[in-house]
């Protein structure tokens, strides 16, 4: 409804979750690389987080970042209703601030917050990803007003020598970037 414009939602209240087929696609990717540790930038109310929690299983661990307190509250409820709250560390705050405090290594990272900072998020996340790990970015193809920023992001990512990257036309368009070596 948000995407078609049939429901009017204030910009800061939009949830704009990944699509269900993107959730399945990520789930397959996570299982293929045996991901146990996932970082997500942009939780909203936790739709994508729930796909990840399901894919990493009970031994997995997730960190997800969201700055909107109302969305954080709803996400916490959703995680607890799904019985996966123990796997998920939900950090409330501005992503750039929180990323600077993280010491962990991750197998998979989703960049799905403000697009203005997406290149900064990628540069901060890349050293935190193990060789063979993946960084995904949502909204490469839709909505159209993100295109200039996402094209710039694709050029930036593809200029790095230790990654391989492709835009997959599923859902809103996903950039899938594998880190080849440290």
Ligand X SMILES: C[S@@+](CC[C@H](N)C(=O)[O-])C[C@H]1O[C@@H](n2cnc3c(N)ncnc32)[C@H](O)[C@@H]1O
Binding site for ligand X (CB under 6 A): 16-18, 42, 44, 47-48, 65-68, 71, 94-95, 112-114
Apex 56 CA angle, 51 and 60, nearest 5: 125
Residue 170 CB, nearest approach to ligand X (Å):
13
12 vs 161, beta carbon nearer ligand X: 12
Structure tokens at 140: 């490469």
Residue 66 CB, nearest approach to ligand X (Å):
5
Residue 47 CB, nearest approach to ligand X (Å):
3
18 vs 140, beta carbon nearer ligand X: 18
Residue 139 CB, nearest approach to ligand X (Å):
7
Distance from C-alpha of 163 to C-alpha of 88, rounded to nearest angstrom: 28
Residue 2 CB, nearest approach to ligand X (Å):
10
13 vs 158, beta carbon nearer ligand X: 13
Tell how strand 106-111 and strand 61-66 pair up: unpaired
Inter-axis angle of helices 47-56 and 69-82, nearest 10: 40
In 66-182, alpha helices (H):
69-82, 95-99, 118-125, 147-158
Residue 70 CB, nearest approach to ligand X (Å):
9
Distance from C-alpha of 82 to C-alpha of 4, rounded to nearest angstrom: 28
26 vs 107, beta carbon nearer ligand X: 26
94 vs 131, beta carbon nearer ligand X: 94
20 vs 131, beta carbon nearer ligand X: 20
> Looking at 81-149, which runs of residues are DSSP E strands?
88-92, 106-111, 129-137
Evaluated on CA atoms 37, 118, 166, 141, the torsion sign reads positive
């Amino acid at each position: 409804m948000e995407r078609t414009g049939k429901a009017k939602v204030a910009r800061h209240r939009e949830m704009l979750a990944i699509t269900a087929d993107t959730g399945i696609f990520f789930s397959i990717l996570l299982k293929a690389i045996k991901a146990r540790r996932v970082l997500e930038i942009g939780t909203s109310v936790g739709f994508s987080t729930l796909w990840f929690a399901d894919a990493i299983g009970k031994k997995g661990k997730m960190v997800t970042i969201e700055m909107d307190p109302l969305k954080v509250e709803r996400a916490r409820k959703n995680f607890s209703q799904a019985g996966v709250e123990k796997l998920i560390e939900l950090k409330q705050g501005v992503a750039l601030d929180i990323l600077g405090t993280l010491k962990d290594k991750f197998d998979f990272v989703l960049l799905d917050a403000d697009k203005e900072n997406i290149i900064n998020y990628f540069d901060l996340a890349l050293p935190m990803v193990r060789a063979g790990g993946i960084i995904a970015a949502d909204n490469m193809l839709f909505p159209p007003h993100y295109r200039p920023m996402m094209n710039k992001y694709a050029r930036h990512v593809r200029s790095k020598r230790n990654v391989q990257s492709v835009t997959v036309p599923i859902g809103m368009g996903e950039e899938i970037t594998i880190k080849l070596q440290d």
